[in-house]
Amino acid sequence: MARKKIIAGNWKMNMTPTQAVELCATLKDLVKNDDVDVVYCVPAIDIVPVVAAVKGSNVKVGAENFYIEDKGAFTGEISAPMLIDAGVEYIIIGHSERRDIFGENDILINAKVKKAFAAGLKPILCCGESLALRKAGTYKEWISRQIKWDLSGITADQVKNLVIAYEPIWAIGTGETATAEQAQEVCKLIRDYIAELYDADTAAAVRIQYGGSMNAGNAAELLAMPDIDGGLIGGASLKADFGKIVNYNK
Ligand code: PGA
What is the Å distance from ligand 1's center to 234 Cα?
Answer: 4
Nearest one of 56, 47, 137 to 91, comparing CA atoms? 47
Q: What is the pLDDT of residue 175?
A: 84
- Give the dihedral sign, CA 41/198/143/180: negative
Q: What is the pLDDT of residue 173?
A: 87
Q: What is the pLDDT of residue 43?
A: 98
Q: Can you list the domains of the chain with their CATH numbers? A: 5-246 (3.20.20.70)
Tell me how long the chain is: 250
Nearest one of 80, 84, 163 to 125, comparing CA atoms? 163
What is the Å distance from ligand 1's center to 71 Cα?
Answer: 30
Q: Which residues line ligand 1 (CB under 6 A)?
A: 10, 167, 172-173, 211-214, 232-236
Cα gap 19→177, rounded to integer Å: 27
**Pocket-testing residue among 233, 238, 245, ligand 1, by greatest number of atoms within 8 A of Cβ:** 233
Q: What is the pLDDT of residue 164?
A: 98
Query: If you take atom 6 of ligand 1, which residue's CA is the nearest one?
Result: 234
Cα gap 229→121, rounded to integer Å: 19
**Mean pLDDT per 10-residue run, the chain (250 residues)?**
93 98 98 98 98 98 98 98 98 98 98 98 98 95 98 98 97 90 98 98 98 96 98 98 97
Q: Which residues are catalytic?
A: 95, 167
**Pocket-testing residue among 11, 97, 101, 213, ligand 1, by greatest number of atoms within 8 A of Cβ:** 213
Q: What is the pLDDT of residue 145?
A: 98
- Judge contact between 206 and 164, C-beta under 8 A: yes
Query: Is the pTM higher than 0.75?
Result: yes
Cα gap 61→55, rounded to integer Å: 10
